[in-house]
Structure 1
Amino acid sequence: MTEIKSIMACIDLSAYSPMNLGYTLGLAEQGDLKVTICSVIPLREVTPVFMTGTIYHCREDTKEYLDELKENRKAQINDLIQKQFPQFSGETDICIKMGSPPDAILDMIESINPDLVVMANKGRSNLSKFMFGSAAEYIFRHCKAPLLSVRDKHIFNRTYSGSATPEAGKIRTVMAAVDFSPWSTEILAWAGWLAKINGAKLHAFNCISSQEISWVKSHYVPENSFDLEQFLPKEKQRRHELLADQIKAAGLSSIEGVEISVDSGVPYEQILSISQNTGADILVLGPRGRSRSARFAIGSTIEKIFRHSPVPVLRLGPSMNN
């Protein structure tokens, strides 16, 4: 079982911040974790003041003003905690930085070195759809620590234009997407940890990808004798047994309601479909798949799940098991 001691929330005081804190502090309470809350004052709020103080003679001290911005942000965060999560009032560390939000957040993550980072899929801009290069996606790609991207499945629709406030949901079912890559053991460990501290069910899923089937078909011996109707049931059973062995080896058999399923098709489509069918409240994925690519690629399975999953997505750190 993986050991988690600290958790870090990245908030910007947007409408998504209470949801982010809800998930963060909920996990912290259940798992007895040390909490650090980080926030970035963006350059658009800082640069005009800095430039004015540099170019012109001002009666107000620029450094004092910037320090006041930090204190105000810290006070706003404390006020939010006091109003919505009073049991954590005075129990969290708060770190405020100025700069470009994605870069500043990554710097704070590296400096604080938490076991888990929690971040909302949207922020102040409240974009109706993700764009390559958005802050959330940039951090999801480059964060070296395990990162939980939280979202409210009830208002996740890209075209949603209502005024409902995003809320943290209860974690009743945890789904681990296992591909038998070197990260499979860690995926199951994290999924098991989440299931145990939340008293949730665990569902382990593996997809036999269409590409794998094509490769087996083209290399099958004897040549031209491949029968998909015979191959798939046997392969599903083999993988089911392999997953069961990995769950047992990870010490997760004691979790009430452990389920295993294996299907075939396009991995990200199947993962999203199964997560909906099983009522999963959170998905746990590796940092990348079997290719062990040195970096994320546009269109990868994990990025597509990040963009389209209506439920929170926990992606492990890329440096794990390298």
Structure 2
Amino acid sequence: MTQFNHIMACIDLSDYSPMTLGYALDLAGKADIKVTICSIVPLREVNPVFMAGMMYPCREDTKEYLEELKTNRIAQINELIRTRYPEFDGKTDIRIKMGYPAEEILAMIDEIDPDLVVMANKGRSNLSSFMFGSSAEFVFRHCRKALFSVRDKHIFKRMYSGNELPESSALRTIIAAVDFSPWTEHILARAGWVAKITGAKLHVYHCIGTKELSWIKSHYMPENTFSEEQFLPKAKQRRRERLEDQIKAAGIGEMAGIEITIDSGDPCEQILSAVKNLRADALVLGPLGHSRSVKFVLGSTIEKIFRHSPVPVLRLSPDICI
């Protein structure tokens, strides 16, 4: 059963930072995992200082100011840890950089080489809807490590305007969504490990897509004899048996209480519906689907789920099978 040994938590001291730390430190505490906290000071906060330093070098000590800025942010992060997670006081490595957040996060991932990156779906901007090009989405697309995108399912709404602050919650039900791609066993192994250390129930979910059904129907012989009502029960049973074999191959066959659900329809819609119906607390996905595209494609099932899932999404590393 594959596990994570080093977590990198990305925070910006926004309202979403305590939630991000909560998920990261909870996993770390239950499995004795090393934690590195990454925080990026955006250029918009330091550009005025650079300009002042250029125009009035005798009146503005830019280097001293920037070091003070980093020191203050480290102090704020330490205070947050002492206040909310005292058991981790002095036990985390804190790294501060300046620049464009998404680019600096990706650079730090290359630098410290974590097994898992934890970050919120929103940050200081607190956008009411996702925008193509946002830091969270940019990192989600380009991160070559497993990434845990966290969000509070109780207040996850496109136009949420309440006063409730996002909080981490216990993982009680985890859905592993699989499509028999090369990453299926890895998804099952990772999801099984998280379920084991958190005490969560594992639910394996598979959807027979409408495109697949259309292809089967168009190639069915003799023509015009395809019956979805007759085909689906047999197809679901075959896939259930195959999933049972892959669960054993992933090393989680001995886990108690694993449930399997096989549906049909649009994969994105069905997965999100299963998240709601099963009251899931987290969703585990592969990095890509059967297309195995090197880059994420706008509109792909995984990207749609990332944008619309009300629960945290753990997306595995694209390099996991290489």
The interval holding the TM-score normalised by the smaller chain is over 0.9
CA contact (8 A) 2:20 2:150 kept: yes
TM-superposed CA distance for 1:31, in Å, is: 1.4
The secondary structure found in structure 1 opposite 2:154 is helix
Aligned position for 1:114:
114
CA contact (8 A) 2:117 2:145 kept: yes
TM-superposed CA distance for 1:83, in Å, is: 0.5
CA contact (8 A) 2:149 2:313 kept: yes
Counterparts of 1:183 and 1:68, CA distance in 2: 45
What is the 5 A alignment of 1:244-263?
244-263=244-263
Aligned position for 1:49:
49
Q: CA RMSD in A?
A: 0.9
Aligned position for 1:321:
321
The secondary structure found in structure 2 opposite 1:9 is strand
Counterparts of 1:116 and 1:136, CA distance in 2: 15
CA contact (8 A) 1:195 1:255 kept: no
Greater alpha carbon shift after TM alignment, 105-114 vs 216-225? 216-225
1:163 and 2:167 aligned: no
The secondary structure found in structure 2 opposite 1:202 is strand
What is the 5 A alignment of 1:121-136?
121-136=121-136
Alignment size in residue pairs? 322
Aligned position for 1:152:
152
The secondary structure found in structure 1 opposite 2:280 is coil
For 1:205, the aligned partner's letter is Y
Deviations 1:54-111 (A, max 9, x none): 2322334211111111111111000000000000000000000000001011101111
TM-superposed CA distance for 1:143, in Å, is: 0.6
> Structure 2: 5+ residue runs without aligned partners?
none
Greater alpha carbon shift after TM alignment, 214-223 vs 260-269? 214-223
| TM-score calculated relative to the size of structure 2 | 0.98
Aligned position for 2:193:
193
The secondary structure found in structure 2 opposite 1:136 is helix
CA contact (8 A) 1:36 1:92 kept: yes
Aligned position for 1:311:
311
Aligned position for 1:242:
242
Counterparts of 1:292 and 1:232, CA distance in 2: 26
Counterparts of 2:285 and 2:173, CA distance in 1: 15
What is the 5 A alignment of 1:92-103?
92-103=92-103
The secondary structure found in structure 2 opposite 1:12 is coil
For 1:308, the aligned partner's letter is H
The secondary structure found in structure 1 opposite 2:205 is strand
Counterparts of 1:145 and 1:218, CA distance in 2: 39
Deviations 1:41-63 (A, max 9, x none): 00001111112212322334211
| TM-score calculated relative to the size of structure 1 | 0.98
Counterparts of 1:58 and 1:273, CA distance in 2: 62
Counterparts of 1:182 and 1:205, CA distance in 2: 16
The secondary structure found in structure 2 opposite 1:153 is coil
CA contact (8 A) 1:201 1:255 kept: no
Counterparts of 2:263 and 2:280, CA distance in 1: 16
CA contact (8 A) 2:195 2:202 kept: yes
CA contact (8 A) 1:178 1:184 kept: yes
For 1:253, the aligned partner's letter is G
What is the 5 A alignment of 1:40-79?
40-79=40-79
Aligned position for 2:217:
217
CA contact (8 A) 1:11 1:37 kept: yes
CA contact (8 A) 2:53 2:59 kept: no
Structure 1 segments (4+ residues) deviating >6 Å: none
Aligned position for 1:88:
88
Counterparts of 1:114 and 1:80, CA distance in 2: 22
What is the 5 A alignment of 1:228-239?
228-239=228-239
Identity rate, percent? 67
Counterparts of 1:243 and 1:288, CA distance in 2: 19
